[in-house]
């Protein structure tokens, strides 16, 4: 069953097309990585999936389950976010504002939910800490917990591991992997880290102002677009199970 789909979707700013003819589907529980060079249209597409930018051609379809369960969004981090003068718990709770409706305060249930999301990202011990005193990797995990508060089924992530050191990047990818495999969370992630995309995702969408490739990770690694984009010599793609059995590091 498809949770998200684009059918021949095109996007433009002020009449200038920046992304043309994109078609793909993500199933419930899927994991899609969107790759491509700077300016390829990745963030524009994500804005389109969020309904913030309308396609000028074709369509973007968000399935009933995603509409009902909400969409969690982790945008690229800005300098302003890094200095946010609030506690970790307050930052995570702010992800539930939409659900509060007219209620002007957060209840015990909201706090329990925030704590559960912090546990999923391994940040439960930092609940009372000030957000701006955390490391970059810890801040990204708190913002991921915030995004999780907004959804039961679909996470859209714009470069969640950008700017983190390799250990923090690994931890972020591991958490996303657990959310996908253990919680059934559907993930759509923009990344410049194509090797991690190949390890973590099940599908790849490669953009360059248009769609260069959409399909499985295995097909991508064999495709002309994939071969050109994947860095550094021979690269063997392992499926999740094979990677685990072989002891390879699986996101």
Ligand X SMILES: Nc1ncnc2c1ncn2[C@@H]1O[C@H](COP(=O)(O)OP(=O)(O)OP(=O)(O)O)[C@@H](O)[C@H]1O
* Binding residue (CB under 6 A) for ligand X from 38, 79, 101, 233: 38
Pick between residue 24 and residue 131 the one whose CB is nearest to ligand X: 24
Find the part of the chain contacting ligand X (CB under 6 A) among 23-31, 32-40, 55-63, 127-135. Answer: 32-40
CB-facing half-sphere around the CA of 113: CA atoms within 13 A: 21
Nearest partner of 205 among 185, 231, 223, 178, judged by Cα: 223
By CB under 6 A, tell whether 48 contacts ligand X. Answer: no
Stated as kind and residue range, the H or E segment containing 139 is: helix 136-149
Place of tokens 């789909």: 5
By CB under 6 A, tell whether 66 contacts ligand X. Answer: no
By CB under 6 A, tell whether 160 contacts ligand X. Answer: no
By CB under 6 A, tell whether 56 contacts ligand X. Answer: no
Applying CB under 6 A, what is the total number of residues that bind ligand X?
10
Cβ distance 135 to 171 under 8 Å? no
Pick between residue 158 and residue 171 the one whose CB is nearest to ligand X: 158
To ligand X, the closest distance from the beta carbon of 236 in angstroms equals: 27
Find the part of the chain contacting ligand X (CB under 6 A) among 22-30, 31-39, 100-108, 111-119. Answer: 31-39
Cβ distance 93 to 84 under 8 Å? no
Pick between residue 2 and residue 76 the one whose CB is nearest to ligand X: 76
To ligand X, the closest distance from the beta carbon of 145 in angstroms equals: 24
By CB under 6 A, tell whether 40 contacts ligand X. Answer: yes
Rounded Cα distance between 230 and 216, Å, is 15
* Binding residue (CB under 6 A) for ligand X from 6, 9, 20, 42: 42
CB-based burial label for 90 (10 Å; 0-12, 13-18, 19+): middle
By CB under 6 A, tell whether 78 contacts ligand X. Answer: no
∠ CA(30), CA(36), CA(37), 5° rounding? Answer: 155
Q: Are strands 186-190 and 57-62 parallel, antiparallel or unpaired?
A: unpaired
The per-residue b/e assignment along 167-181, b for 16 or more CB within 10 angstroms, e otherwise, is ebbebbbebbbebbe
By CB under 6 A, tell whether 206 contacts ligand X. Answer: no
* Binding residue (CB under 6 A) for ligand X from 7, 17, 18, 50: 18
To ligand X, the closest distance from the beta carbon of 5 in angstroms equals: 19
Find the part of the chain contacting ligand X (CB under 6 A) among 42-50, 90-98, 104-112, 238-246. Answer: 42-50
By CB under 6 A, tell whether 36 contacts ligand X. Answer: yes
Question: In sequence order, what E strands does the chain have?
Answer: 2-13, 16-27, 31-35, 57-62, 71-74, 154-158, 186-190, 203-207, 211-216
By CB under 6 A, tell whether 13 contacts ligand X. Answer: yes
By CB under 6 A, tell whether 44 contacts ligand X. Answer: yes
* Residues near ligand X, by CB under 6 A: 13, 18, 36, 38-44
């Amino acid at each position: 069953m498809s949770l998200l789909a684009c059918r021949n979707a095109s996007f433009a700013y002020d009449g200038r097309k920046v992304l043309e003819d994109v078609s793909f589907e993500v199933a419930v529980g899927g994991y899609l990585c969107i790759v491509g060079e700077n300016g390829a249209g990745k963030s524009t597409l994500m804005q389109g999936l969020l309904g913030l930018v309308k396609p000028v051609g074709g369509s973007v379809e968000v399935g009933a389950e995603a509409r009902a369960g909400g969409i969690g969004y982790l945008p690229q981090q800005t300098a302003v976010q890094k200095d946010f003068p609030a506690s970790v718990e307050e930052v995570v709770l702010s992800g539930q504002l939409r659900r509060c409706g007219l209620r002007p305060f957060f209840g015990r249930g909201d706090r329990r939910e925030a704590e559960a999301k912090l546990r999923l990202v391994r940040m439960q011990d930092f609940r009372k800490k000030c957000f701006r005193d955390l490391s970059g990797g810890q801040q990204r995990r708190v913002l991921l917990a915030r995004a999780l508060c907004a959804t039961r089924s679909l996470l859209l992530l714009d470069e969640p591991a950008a700017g983190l050191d390799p250990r923090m990047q690994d931890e972020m990818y591991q958490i996303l992997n657990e959310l996908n495999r253990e919680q059934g969370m559907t993930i759509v992630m923009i990344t410049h880290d194509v090797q991690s995309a190949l390890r973590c995702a099940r599908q790849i969408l490669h953009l360059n102002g248009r769609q260069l490739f959409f399909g499985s990770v295995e097909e991508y690694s064999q495709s002309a677009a994939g071969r050109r984009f994947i860095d550094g010599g021979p690269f063997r793609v392992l499926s999740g199970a094979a990677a685990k059995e072989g002891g390879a590091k699986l996101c």
